[in-house]
Structure 1
Amino acid sequence: MKKKFTFLLTLFTMTFMLSAQTVSNETKTLFERLGGTPGITAIVDDVIEAHMNNPAISARFKPYQDQPERFAKIRQHTIEFFSTGSGGSVEYHGRDMTTTHQGMNISAVEYMHVVDDIMGVLDKHNIDEESKKDVLAILWSLKQTIMSK
């Protein structure tokens, strides 16, 4: 009887903890779940590094290394964009995605490499599955405004 009670108590506690975690995740914005400004900044920095090291897309990013002021501005706009888009109270000062990517002729394959790099960085930062799905949905929604423009 004591073992059965202990098992039921453990099961109840685990269920309660999972429910509390779900409720907690549901009440937090994606911005908060990604770690706010410090978390998103770290994610953006790691994504930039991943893009620079990805032979399929690095040629699009490496030229910015020789333009430190432009690189810093693009980095800051990227942090602001993802902060604003994930529910943060951060003001985005960049251009819209269509204008930003005009004339770049980004292919579907290149876009998927970008998405893969971002998802890999989210794994590296131990971002929960629900938040990763939310980020993926945002990236997918941007696809047509960025590709082949």
Structure 2
Amino acid sequence: MPAFRFLIAILLAAASLQVHAADDSLYNELGGSAGIRRVVADLVPALQADARINATFDGVDMERLAAKLEEQFCEVSGGPCKYSGKDMTTIHEDLKVSRAQFNALVEDLQAAMRRNDVPSRTQNRLLARLAPMHREVVTK
């Protein structure tokens, strides 16, 4: 009987360790890391040029911001990346970001995706995954 229990324990352990492949369809629809890099490369200058929000980025290392956005969009879309930046609450707590500023950034992101031929459905899927960050970013 002990051998039988041991076999059952092994089978249960194996069943609990099943690894499910991550859904990387959004990552692929965005064009993988190259597509995300193009969108971010288009987005960052747009943020700097947008009079509604550009003051928020005064003194910010924009190359680092671009790298962190690439990581974040990659991870959120199901890609192989891991976001290595600080959490959204910590980053934004002293910035006093308003809902209007948040919406401006989203508009700039949508425009960057359009300019890079990201289909509307794919844009909406990415925005839906990023939307929960709203409550961590908007502090004003």
TM class, shorter-length? 0.7 to 0.9
The amino acid that maps onto 1:124 is: R
Change (3 A) 1:53 1:91: same
Q: Structure 1 CA distance, aligned partners of 2:105 and 2:122? A: 18
Is residue 2:30 matched to residue 1:34? Answer: yes
CA distance in 2, matches of 1:33, 1:55: 31
Alignment-mate amino acid for residue 141 of structure 1: P
Residue 10 of structure 2 corresponds to: none
Determine whether 1:102 maps to 2:93: yes
Kindly tell me the number of residue pairs found equivalent between the two proteins. 118
Shift of residue 62, structure 1, vs aligned partner: 4.1
Q: CA deviation at 1:28?
A: 5.6
Output the TM-score relative to the length of structure 1.
0.73
* Structure 2 counterpart of 1:63: 59
Partner of 1:93: 84
One-letter code of the match for 1:40?
Answer: I
Please, which runs of 5 or more residues in structure 1 have no aligned partner? Answer: 1-26, 65-69
Corresponding residue number in structure 2 for 1:14: none
Picking from 50, 55, 67, the partner of 1:54 is: 50
Runs of 4+ in 1 over 6 A off after TM superposition: none
- Partner residue in 1 for 2:71: 80
Q: Where do 1:105-124 residues align within 5 Å?
A: 105-124=96-115
Name the structure where helix makes up a greater proportion of residues: 1
Partner residue in 2 for 1:45: 41
Percent of aligned pairs sharing the same letter:
26
| Partner Cα separation in structure 2 for residue 126 and residue 74 of structure 1 | 23
Q: Contact 2:102 / 2:134 at 8 angstroms: preserved in 1?
A: yes
Gaps of 5+ in 2: 1-22
